[in-house]
Structure 1
């Protein structure tokens, strides 16, 4: 994770919440030091070590953060993940912002881990999509990795993905792939989304790098995957849920991309309490 970008984002998040100052805590005795405990209120995968370390260093570099859990580690209900020691008013400045992030990122990591366990096929990598919260993509994709998953492209500038609307605009698969190859260098991968067998034949003949089976059933994937040359990476996406992902075990694709990892997760609840 980019530490410079993380610090910039945390500064913005803190500024949004703090405004001109915490008027609730301003009457507290100056210099009153305490230790706060952050603990899980339910089972899940913890993500938030860097948020606490970097976040509290922004507020005051003398605040001490002691971590009991590393990112990606499983935490049980009631377990303490971190102790934070410093002036009480400064500890409280970051409480809500940091908990908000930790809860959401832990939820994504936990859902990713559950998805991998439900699939139960180590030959297929579970990855995310671009269906992330605006402004939080770096953090949400990091949380997917903490849960054992992999990242799809981070943005539009990282790889070519020709979807239904692109193919319509270019005039078809062959025209789209040909045009893209003319304008891009050899280091940029090209993926094409397909919806039927004829499109599969077209993309194979166009010599793309990655094929996405879009909204395919597991049976359809199993029928068409053997037609794909071994040098082309395959992916299935669309319409897959935690309940149905197991159906795709053994289907032969390299990746399953899941939008629900970052748009339909349940946050893992944490509490922040002063000793």
Structure 2
């Protein structure tokens, strides 16, 4: 889920960044009246993310282009699948091509990796959530890509919820004081989460009546014990040091959520190409 208005602002920036004053190659080699027809093809199996953004880029650069989308975000497709086709002024298609491919390759790469993490948690109640460690300027779309791969979004930004971390606790003089200070002006529909790095802090946060407790860089044994201590009274989130090799064991401790920045930061772009239509 993303906002079209915000997306258009990003598209304008992306196009300006890549084109500069003009696409010199296209201007020199392709006549203004020449028409072309092209297809965006998946060159590997992938989870689609950002396909509507791709179509919007073509149309925003040149509204006369005809774009037909053949797949949906969140859909798993095989190598060779035609994702969209575009026809019209050849100059326009080739000028916008790289911007289109860059964003879909990036977002689909995140969706791909997210799906692998979700699969590694199969058979547990834990749900995968992302973090704010996103590419500056791309957070909205990268978080959308996570949902395409089967994950959930954590905070979209700092104004989306209260998360009391170690430095907040240190400034306030303890978890209880930090929570009390936050509760005084907390919007009524806003969640309050506290980061804990010890079982003693878990008990303190539980007593302070928080909504979510984050178990930060805890051992599997401590996470399992934290689940027992909490007994389902609040949601538990495991975070820190989570990767594809460790997430299954963490999920089996009984936590409700597992957050990791890896699904964004470690995602490799998928292979997609724009080829002349047959």
Taking structure 1 as the reference length, the TM-score comes to 0.96
- Secondary structure of 1:256 counterpart: strand
Q: Deviations over 1:138-177 (max 9, x none)?
A: 0000000000110000011110001111111111111111
**Is contact 2:59–2:67 with CA below 8 Å preserved after alignment?**
no
**Aligned pair partner of 1:167 in 143, 166, 169:** 169
Q: Deviations over 1:223-257 (max 9, x none)?
A: 22121153411110111110111112332221111
- Secondary structure of 2:133 counterpart: coil
User: 1: distance between equivalents of 2:149 and 2:184?
Assistant: 38
**Is contact 1:162–1:191 with CA below 8 Å preserved after alignment?**
yes
- Secondary structure of 1:240 counterpart: coil
- Secondary structure of 2:87 counterpart: strand
User: 1: distance between equivalents of 2:199 and 2:183?
Assistant: 23
Q: Tell me, which stretches of 5 or more residues in structure 1 are unaligned?
A: none
Aligned to 1:94: 96
Q: Which 4+ stretches in 1 moved above 3 angstroms?
A: none
Q: CA deviation at 1:131?
A: 0.4
User: 2: distance between equivalents of 1:167 and 1:111?
Assistant: 34
Q: CA deviation at 1:182?
A: 1.5
Structure 2 matches for 1:52-63, cutoff 5 A? Answer: 52-63=54-65
* Range with bigger deviation, 7-16 or 226-235: 226-235
Q: Deviations over 1:176-210 (max 9, x none)?
A: 11111123233221100001111011001100010
- Secondary structure of 1:149 counterpart: coil
Aligned to 1:240: 242
- Secondary structure of 1:157 counterpart: helix
Matched, 1:48 2:50: yes
User: 2: distance between equivalents of 1:57 and 1:167?
Assistant: 49
**Is contact 2:129–2:151 with CA below 8 Å preserved after alignment?**
yes
**Is contact 1:31–1:87 with CA below 8 Å preserved after alignment?**
yes
User: 2: distance between equivalents of 1:193 and 1:114?
Assistant: 26
Aligned to 1:12: 13
- What is the aligned length? 275
* Range with bigger deviation, 211-220 or 237-246: 211-220
* Range with bigger deviation, 226-235 or 83-92: 226-235
Taking structure 2 as the reference length, the TM-score comes to 0.95
